[in-house]
Amino acid sequence: MTQPAPTLRDTNLDKLATLRFDVLVLGGGINGAVSAAALAARGVRVALIDRADFAGTTSQQSSNLAWGGIKYL
């Protein structure tokens, strides 16, 4: 029996154990995403984790509020 291929989330979680980061941002909502993007733009090594899918709840409750918020900031 073959095992299913690892998901992108599984692969990225494995990287947390092997790579070094300067900052760990908890929460992939608009604040976490913008904080991570701003730090990464300044050359900081950032890991962003969320308990579920990145911006999943925000996008579910509105018409892609997270993407629109990031795009216009």
Of the candidates 16, 15, 58, the residue with the CA atom closest to the CA atom of residue 33: 58
Say what the pLDDT of residue 24 is. Answer: 93
Average pLDDT estimate for 5-15: 86
19-43 pLDDT per residue, tens: 999 999 998 887 888 899 999 999 9
Say what the pLDDT of residue 30 is. Answer: 78
Of the candidates 17, 16, 8, 70, the residue with the CA atom closest to the CA atom of residue 48: 16
46 Rama sector, left if φ>0, alpha if ψ -120 to 50, beta otherwise: beta
pTM for the full model? 0.64
Averaged pLDDT score across all residues of the chain: 79
